[in-house]
Structure 1
């Protein structure tokens, strides 16, 4: 509350799209609202859910910090752009309907942005959680050059639901694209052209790892759109017009198609290994071996990360 007893103007707008998330949405929303380290508003877009998602949000409807919109399905990027357009908060934070934000996350990210005016986007480290059990922790790079270099190699260097963005920078780059998956990769790279990217060095989010996510079910499309985002970044840098998805697909040569296919198989097998019960060690080993053989650069990177963490 402000000193005069009125509600404090939110410093952070947390945008949370949801689709068929009846079992997780309440915990996700609660994790945002219990963090009173900074004044927040929570914008939830129920993107045409066909389950009990909207009913699960009933307990939050009376909270003045919460706005809930329910309408037909339009996809993730459209939901995010809609929520962003509905706020004037200077900082916009992302959140997904099956993840849990860590107390103090928003204060740490606001402090980082205020201490570093050159930074337009800040993320943080995450724990990967499978069936309620923390399986591993990230070691994302923290400085701009290392983050951008990793993104250009097609390596995950930021977790989308764990980021906070300056609203002014979002307005400058025009929000999310309309090409479907990998909208985060494209946004990160476009934001890197107007300011710096960063990750704080501590845990800010528990990331739910499951087989129903888009990255598990449509991996090849994800990797193709990531390659498109990288290609357009490089084309902008040299003053060339951007590709649309069809034009990009028409320009792909055999080597690039092979790389996308191999990356997709490797990541699909790796994710299956993450979702395999720990007691089935032989199965996990076979899946990890298949992931390594399908695209060795990913295996080398994972070994290097393990070595740094030990």
Structure 2
């Protein structure tokens, strides 16, 4: 693993927010996503680019060549091609108390960091903050808007049966997530697994902002999140919460997710 960033940037004071973006390939969608992270109204941040896969070293060199002059950008490469590992690695290396997630083919609104940072400052009990988001295709055409539940009570109620948090829209309290063990869940359900573990701790809250702060590229990701593997991993996380809490809603949610996994397997 290599951490490529300038000594000056690492010696400076901690930023307010750390962007966390993981990728295994370089294309125009990635550069579009990076530009949206860099062009923010709140400029006290660092951008962690976690590059993974067997060709991560070459990709890291390429990205360093493009963004290396920007003192806010840190490029980290690892040959381990596993999103859970990359996310937890990024959490470990992040220098800010707040971490903003971002995917390599989405676009963040220019005021996203400012709005979410202000919200987190005013609501110290919120550990995970998401937002409303619009659905777009790879060409940037918008096809709709999603307004998730906003309050902690509503989010926790929905969480028994589905994921009410859009992962690339969230801002996290780093220390809280680290103490939870970081990302441990299976493929395509790493965020839902984390939310369910955090939901067992009543000291922390979830929230979603009503403003649209993310353009979510749904075209390549929708099928992955509705795959047999994703539903199987979600069912396992829900069953774990039932065994811990004995709340029958978790058991019902697990049964529904398992059923969806079986249906996916039948169609395959």
Q: Any gaps of 5 or more consecutive residues in structure 1?
A: 1-5, 240-251, 269-310
Determine if the alignment matches structure 1 residue 15 to structure 2 residue 16: no
Secondary structure, aligned partner of 2:28: coil
Kept after mapping to 1: 8 A contact 2:136/2:217: yes
Report the CA distance between 1:69 and its aligned residue.
1.4
Which protein, 1 or 2, shows the higher relative CO under an 8 Å CA cutoff with sep ≥ 6?
Answer: 2
Determine if the alignment matches structure 1 residue 201 to structure 2 residue 202: no
Q: Any gaps of 5 or more consecutive residues in structure 2?
A: 1-10, 248-253
The residue that corresponds to 2:8 in the other structure is none
Determine if the alignment matches structure 1 residue 27 to structure 2 residue 32: yes
The residue that corresponds to 2:227 in the other structure is 219
The residue that corresponds to 1:258 in the other structure is 259
Kept after mapping to 1: 8 A contact 2:18/2:94: yes
The residue that corresponds to 1:89 in the other structure is 96
Kept after mapping to 2: 8 A contact 1:25/1:56: no
Match of 1:145 among 139, 143, 153: 153
Kindly report the root-mean-square deviation, in angstroms, between the aligned alpha carbons of the 2 structures.
2.7
Report the CA distance between 1:26 and its aligned residue.
1.2
Note the alpha carbon deviations across 1:233-278, whole angstroms, 9 max, x for none.
2223259xxxxxxxxxxxx98x87434334x48xx9xxxxxxxxxx
Kept after mapping to 2: 8 A contact 1:125/1:140: yes
Determine if the alignment matches structure 1 residue 191 to structure 2 residue 191: no
The count of corresponding residues between Structure 1 and Structure 2 is 246
Kept after mapping to 2: 8 A contact 1:25/1:57: no
Kept after mapping to 2: 8 A contact 1:43/1:67: yes
Determine if the alignment matches structure 1 residue 233 to structure 2 residue 254: no
What is the TM-score with the length of structure 2 in the denominator?
0.82
The residue that corresponds to 1:135 in the other structure is 143
Kept after mapping to 2: 8 A contact 1:26/1:56: no
1: distance between equivalents of 2:12 and 2:257? 53
Report the CA distance between 1:73 and its aligned residue.
3.3
The residue that corresponds to 1:48 in the other structure is 53
The residue that corresponds to 1:77 in the other structure is 84
Kept after mapping to 2: 8 A contact 1:18/1:44: yes
Give the 5 Å matches for 1:287-306.
none
More strand by share: 2
The residue that corresponds to 2:128 in the other structure is 121
Choose 1 or 2 for highest CA Rg: 1
2: distance between equivalents of 1:164 and 1:49? 29
Deviates more, 1:172-181 or 1:23-32: 172-181
What is the TM-score with the length of structure 1 in the denominator?
0.72
Note the alpha carbon deviations across 1:81-130, whole angstroms, 9 max, x for none.
11110123110110011111101111111111111111111000111101
4+ residue runs of structure 1 moved beyond 6 angstroms?
none
2: distance between equivalents of 1:215 and 1:57? 32
